[in-house]
Structure 1
Amino acid sequence: MAADTPQNQTSQFPNGGGHTGELIRSFDWSKTPLGPISSWPESLKTVTNMLLQSPVPIVLLWGEDGIMIYNDAYSGFAGSRHPQLLGSKVREGWAEIADFNDNVMRVGLSGRTLAYENQELTLIRHGKPAPVWMNLDYSPVMDESGKPAGVIAIVVETTKQVLAQRQLRESEERFRALTSATSDIIYQFSADWKEMRALDGRGLLSDTERPTINWQETYLLPEDRPAVLAKVEEAIRTKSVFQLEHRVRQADGGLGWMLSRAVPIMDEKGEIVEWFGAATDTTERRQYEEHLRLVVHELNHRVKNNLAMTQAIAAQTFRGDIDLKEAQNRFASRMVALGQANDLLTGERWVGASLGGAIEQAIKPHAPDDGRCTVEGDEDVKLSPKTALALTLAMHELATNALKYGAWSNGEGRVDVRWSTGNDAEGKRRLRIEWRESGGPDVRPPARRGFGSVLIERGLAREMGGTVTMEYLPTGLVCTVEAPENLYAER
């Protein structure tokens, strides 16, 4: 393009403006509706000088055709269309949005303004159409007569911000969907874990809808806090995942167990800004593991007792002058009875039992066959499997002790088991079971309470919902069970 004339004017106007300013000075404006720069009105020159000094993308649309004059910042926005846009008609320069710019010119030249926030337009800037988001502000520019002669536009592209916000919203929606789909407890902490910002307790823990610094008092037991905080400090120091299974105070006031796992969220500098975590309720699993541990302990105890009982039964069966064949048959019969009692203990073949049947089945392998045992009651009671198992374990333990140390450990002692039912003072059904030993060795209270005593007194009392009392009388052990019959009986 040829340089405008006269030369002294092009060298003085416009003032500065960087690369785009040089293009404006060297552009042949005589081939445009604006005419040579020497003929431009002062209003046009003033606005041109102003926009060239601005760091913000600005474009001037002059005249009815909207001839384009812009600055360096806008040339970056124009992309590959620069410098061809300079001096072109806006409707032709941006042909893909001609209707949009036609409205801009109509409104601007009528003296009104327009403003758009995050306006989406499809533009061809780098060889192919692409969506673009912009903040656009349009204002009329007056000539010397005070009439609108052009429109000035401030163009700020917000494409990156819009896409980032959209990506953030999509990420948040996916996160919300994930948290809605899972039954895990979801929580959020500050970078230093001093503030719990939110917690969705899923009904298991109390929700924390507002940030709180008292989360330790709310959820943790005092004796557990040092271990939890030590794990937190390690995760913060190493900027790694926090993971720990620990006890918690539940929303209903009870205690439970949670497997908690939290990940740090980093900023651009690699510094932790917050933590997001999830916690799984492991209370049932922990209870099952504890139950399994007790079962294994009980199994070990049973195996040892069975070996001891087998030895005691053998000693009793083959003691003194006996008919060997008869003794062998009696011993075999007792071994079968012992095996049947074990079937009852494990519940492998039993779904329910009567009170009398459970007692007889439990003590039969241990009781001598010379009439030194009585089992009787005023009426039979149907037991649930769980209650019958607890009672059988207790009777099994009492019979074992009687055979090893009590009334059945000599040839004279006996055991009488009796039960009765009736109403208490409030008219509620009650059951009383009494195990009474007599004629055995002298009885002294044990120096310490073994597993068997605990099983009888605590386990049986808990399962039957009553009380169990063990009296070590000089004449023999007396074990008394008193319980509300309707808690376990199936009438």
Structure 2
Amino acid sequence: MNADDIWNSLSDFPAPDGLLSEGGMMGDAIRHHDWAATSLGPMATWPLSLKNALRMMLTSRQPMSLFWGRDLIMLYNDGYAPFLAERHGRALGQPFQTIWSDVWQELVPLVAETLSGRGTGGEDIRLMMLRDGVEVETFWTFSYTPVHDDHGRIAGLINITTETTSHVRSQAAAAAIIEDTQRQLEHTMQLERQRRIVQREMAHRIKNILSMTMAVVSQSMRHATSIEDAQETITHRIGALAKAQDILTDTEFRDANVRSIIEQVLKPHQDHSGRTRLDGRDVKVSAQQALGLSLAMHELATNAVKYGALSNENGTISVRWEEGADNTFRLEWQEAGGPPVVPPSRKGFGSRLTGRIVGGYFNGAGDIDYHPQGVRYVLTGTIERLADELNPS
């Protein structure tokens, strides 16, 4: 069947009875409206171009409105009526600007361009619209098309439209869900990366603790003068390691606070106020450095109890530390008030520990000076932090 066949099949249908016989609810409303009270005048005087545009609009299933004349008098079909909401009862025959006063200023550029002869419109255009007296956000997809009078002059415009508020909100909600899901996924991936890093770090730390424990045992045995001496030394040194482990456990094996490490070691020796003085801001070091620093402090405190400032009631210990630029670190242990210091005749494991071993943990050096008025120990190096690895910038 071609187009001519279609036309021929319609030849037996009678012509519509009057202009608005098939216009539905709005066809009846337009037919009974008092048009003489508007700038359009009685329907009998309407130009053929207006009648044809009106017939096309009323028989369309697409929501449409027609604005005609200098006042842009409004007419619309059944599909468009729901968009008007509470304006529906008073919109017919009123000027565009009167009915849509709340959005008129936003639509003026589009209306002006259409009346100049160029069709306009857009998709999901945002309009803040009054509904039941409340301003609400709405979205519309529409096109404005110029319509001409019997003389070919532009006499108004026809608006083919649909409200997309629900669609836009659904899209926004879906986008928010996707964004939130993506955020959660990234967070989960970050946690997984951190878990793997911590797992590797824990394995490394455990190996390091075991190696340090083995070194403590073997070196203490080698430098001990008796089994009893070795047993006592090993017990104290492994006890120092255990206390350091307590600090690391509290921080989930991340960074340990220098002050906490020193306080833990010196706490048993606080027999009166002023016995020890600590001076330094909060500085955190890695787990491995915390273990080394704890052992160094333990060795110095043990020697102070045996031979130095903690061997009498008047001696004092001052520990100062600071973090400099580029994560540099400096710690100074100074004893005073103890018996005259006599340098050891030989260097044992304790000296190697506080010097080369702990200094190596800080990529620096540990130097001890046996000054007659009090032992002085200086540790310099660079701070490492696990948190820097877990949270790269």
TM bracket (short chain): 0.3 to 0.5
TM-score by length of 2: 0.47
The structure whose RCO (Cα within 8 Å, separation 6+) is larger is 2
Name the structure where strand makes up a greater proportion of residues.
1
Structure 1 length-normalised TM: 0.39
Q: Which has a greater percent of helix? A: 2
